Amino acid sequence: MCGIAGILRFDDQRSSDKDVHHLLDYVRHRGPDGEQIRVVGPCAFGHTRLSIIDLEGGLQPMQAAATGSCGTLTVVFNGEIYNHRELREQLENLGHQFQTDHSDTEVLLFAYRQWGPQFTKRLRGMFSFALWDDGKKKLLLARDRIGQKPLFIRHTGKAICFASQIPPLLTPVAGGVPKVNQSALLTYLRLGYTSYDSLLDDIHELMPGHYMIVDHKSGKHETNPFWRPPEPSRHSSDLNLIDDTTNIIIEAINYRLEADVPLGAFLSGGIDSSLVTYYAHNELMRRGQGPLKTFSVKMPVVEYDESDAARMVAQHVGTDHTELHASPDNDVFSDLKFLISVYGEPTADSSILPTYWLSKETRKHLRVALSGDGGDELFGGYDRYRAMRLLQKHRWWLKHVPADMLNSTNPKSTVSRVKRLIDAARQEDAPTQYKSMMHLFNEEQIKELGIKNHDAAQPYVAMPQWPEGTDPVHAAMRWDLMHYLPMEVLRKVDRASMAVGLEVRCPLLDSRVCELATHLPPSLVMPSGQPKGLLRQIAAQVLPKEIVKRRKQGFALPIGHWFKTQLREPAETLFKSGTLGTLGLDETVAQRLLAEHVNDQADNTHRLFALLELTIWKQWVDHPTPPPPAKTV
């Protein structure tokens, strides 16, 4: 795991070590164990390393020398290739001679030389990388299937710059700070996160499961997919399904236990992390490397606290468990500013804070942590999937229920849930129904915020790239897998963990697990409409029944309460600073939302957090500076 950055120039100038060093200033937290820079013709690479596999031989940028008609190859790589040993054996049998003992980075070089850009199909792991073919004068940029590892690109005309995160692309060598992208700002207000276009013009994230080839001679580039999730089967049955799914998950977990440094797991007490913990611990004990170290966060408010469930699982399994206490005494505002300088963009998801705190505590003990991310999107864990099924059956009468008879200031109450279902029932098709359950600000609220010509900036589309012509529940899950998961969840996990140099591995996002889950119809993933029903059937074999029957709680904080206490003054100050006005937003609307919230007239928690993050981000992006080193010990 690492931070990568680089430049491919199209003019007569040659990039220098100093240029790349400036880029690395903004990703050094991702690789605190060392850094190297290499310039090869028009291409310059930089790499900051978090040493996990082959500590001595895995130094980057890594090269494969020219042989015969093949030119020198150079690569910088962020991630882990879990099947690198099998690929190495295949390549050695084909005559390739490796220089390292077991570096997964070197596998990329010879796999490209043997199979070309399509070798990405053979990779089982999480990755983003840049590979320069000096013979063909082409740059290959690639990203893993689900988007666990980031790769941002900026084309300035004179050069293409790339990096693990957005901040390096704002440096003078990359062209400085561009203008705000109004379309991306609308996406952020609608959903709480941006799509593959960043909040700044000309900066884009390479889509998951895609690679880009840049031809230096012509200056042209093309992007191609190498993976898409399979379509749902019409003929699948539940015969041996539990055993087959269990075996694939165990295999995925076992792959992710390879490390030359200490390894542990995040444990929330939910189904996903508990299953990962159980099978990882068993395998480590079988290898004589256990017990597994597990980590959880104890929240200050009972409503948000899952520590009792995590402790129950840890005791049941026998892990070495550590509990972090998240307290309102934490300097929340300072942490938010730090995370913006790491992230380079705002997020409306306040769980980035406990994810960061958990990562920070875990990093004191080890460098690699397993997580249960992906289970909700793949196996039907969100209530909104069940809501989509209810709408299929009952929309005809739900849409006639008077919405004004249901009012609650508690967004988690049954009344609020039913109201959201009724609001969705009033929408005409599946995409708009799903958006009504997902949106942060609706279209009327966005107009009230004051964005001018917002329809021209981004014509209204309920859910872009919605999978048409399929079961609405499966369409919702597939949309989340390709949009919500990589753009929101995985960005959050990557930035929060890599801010302290911690690698997070997600077994449930293994390519074989993804292909199985997306191939199954919802009736098998969610039998009888039960959220994560298939995973619960697996869990029932190995976990306490209290854990199997637990309702999903989510990784959340009492941010709503904090807006009335420790975050109230910073929010009031920022909402009067004029910063939102520079984005074309009406500050008085933000001030009113805060006043309504403080006076218990409405629960505006998520919208307030989104606007607070947006304000902090705009102040940072006006004068971007590298993040200060995070203390991990």
In-domain check, residue 469: no
- Considering the domain architecture, whether residues 343 and 486 belong to the same structural domain is answered as yes
pLDDT exceeds 50 at position 633:
no
Instruction: Read off the CATH number of the domain in which 161 is found.
Output: 3.60.20.10
Mean pLDDT of 523-539: 93
Among 525, 548, 571, residue at a domain's last position? 548
How sure is the predictor about 632, in pLDDT bands with cuts at 50, 70 and 90?
very low
In-domain check, residue 553: no
In angstroms, the CA 440 to CA 473 distance is 21
In angstroms, the CA 546 to CA 548 distance is 6
- Considering the domain architecture, whether residues 494 and 361 belong to the same structural domain is answered as yes
3-state secondary structure at position 114 = helix
211, two tokens: 């690679």
CA dihedral of 404, 407, 412, 418, whole degrees rounded to 10: -30
Q: At what angle do helices 241-255 and 271-287 cross, to 10 degrees?
A: 60
- Considering the domain architecture, whether residues 53 and 143 belong to the same structural domain is answered as yes
Nearest to 352 by CA among 11, 85, 616, 126: 616
pLDDT exceeds 80 at position 192:
yes
Instruction: Read off the CATH number of the domain in which 528 is found.
Output: 3.40.50.620
In-domain check, residue 395: yes
Among 523, 548, 573, residue at a domain's last position? 548
pLDDT exceeds 60 at position 16:
yes
Helices (H) and strands (E) in the chain — how many of each? 26, 17
- Considering the domain architecture, whether residues 217 and 93 belong to the same structural domain is answered as yes
pLDDT, tens digit, for every residue of 270-316? 999 999 999 999 999 999 998 999 999 887 666 777 888 999 999 99
- Considering the domain architecture, whether residues 248 and 110 belong to the same structural domain is answered as no
In-domain check, residue 426: yes
Which region holds residue 366: left if phi is over 0, alpha if psi is between -120 and 50, else beta? beta
Mean pLDDT of 164-178: 94
Give the model's pLDDT for residue 213: 97
User: In three state form, how does the secondary structure of 423-437 look?
Assistant: HHHCCCCHHHHHHHH
- Considering the domain architecture, whether residues 175 and 31 belong to the same structural domain is answered as yes
Q: Count of alpha carbons within 13 Å of 554, Cβ hemisphere only?
A: 13
Nearest to 317 by CA among 285, 356, 359: 285
Give the model's pLDDT for residue 283: 96
User: In three state form, how does the secondary structure of 140-195 look?
Assistant: EEEECCCCCCCCEEEECCCEEEEECCCHHHHCHHHCCCCCECHHHHHHHHHHCCCC
Give the model's pLDDT for residue 494: 94
- Considering the domain architecture, whether residues 357 and 408 belong to the same structural domain is answered as no
In angstroms, the CA 84 to CA 107 distance is 6
pLDDT exceeds 60 at position 623:
yes
Among 431, 462, 493, residue at a domain's last position? 462
In-domain check, residue 467: no
**Segments forming the whole domain that contains residue 501:** 241-379+474-548
Number of structural domains (the chain) is 4
What does DSSP say about strands 263-266 and 138-143: parallel, antiparallel, or unpaired? Answer: unpaired
Q: Taking all residues of the chain, what is their mean pLDDT, rounded to a whole number?
A: 90
In-domain check, residue 541: yes
Mean pLDDT of 397-411: 76
97, two tokens: 């001679």
- Considering the domain architecture, whether residues 525 and 397 belong to the same structural domain is answered as no
- Considering the domain architecture, whether residues 442 and 457 belong to the same structural domain is answered as yes
Stated pTM of the model = 0.94
- Considering the domain architecture, whether residues 399 and 356 belong to the same structural domain is answered as no
pLDDT, tens digit, for every residue of 120-146? 999 999 999 999 999 999 999 999 999
In-domain check, residue 632: no
pLDDT, tens digit, for every residue of 331-383? 888 999 999 999 899 999 999 998 998 899 898 999 899 999 999 999 999 99
pLDDT exceeds 60 at position 457:
no
How sure is the predictor about 532, in pLDDT bands with cuts at 50, 70 and 90?
very high
Enumerate residues 6+ apart whose C-beta is below 8 A from 321. Answer: 267, 293, 294, 295, 296, 310, 311, 314, 315
Nearest to 67 by CA among 87, 105, 96: 96
User: In three state form, how does the secondary structure of 472-499 look?
Assistant: HHHHHHHHHHHHHHHHHHHHHHHHHHHC
3-state secondary structure at position 556 = coil
In-domain check, residue 182: yes
Enumerate residues 6+ apart whose C-beta is below 8 A from 483. Answer: 195, 464, 465
Give the model's pLDDT for residue 238: 82
Q: Count of alpha carbons within 13 Å of 319, Cβ hemisphere only?
A: 31
Residue with token string 């884009």: 204
CA dihedral of 27, 30, 36, 42, whole degrees rounded to 10: -50
Task: Specify the higher pLDDT residue, 589 or 411.
Answer: 589
- Considering the domain architecture, whether residues 313 and 204 belong to the same structural domain is answered as no
**How far is C-alpha 501 from the geometric centre of its chain's CA atoms?**
16
- Considering the domain architecture, whether residues 365 and 507 belong to the same structural domain is answered as yes
pLDDT exceeds 80 at position 328:
no
In angstroms, the CA 11 to CA 506 distance is 41
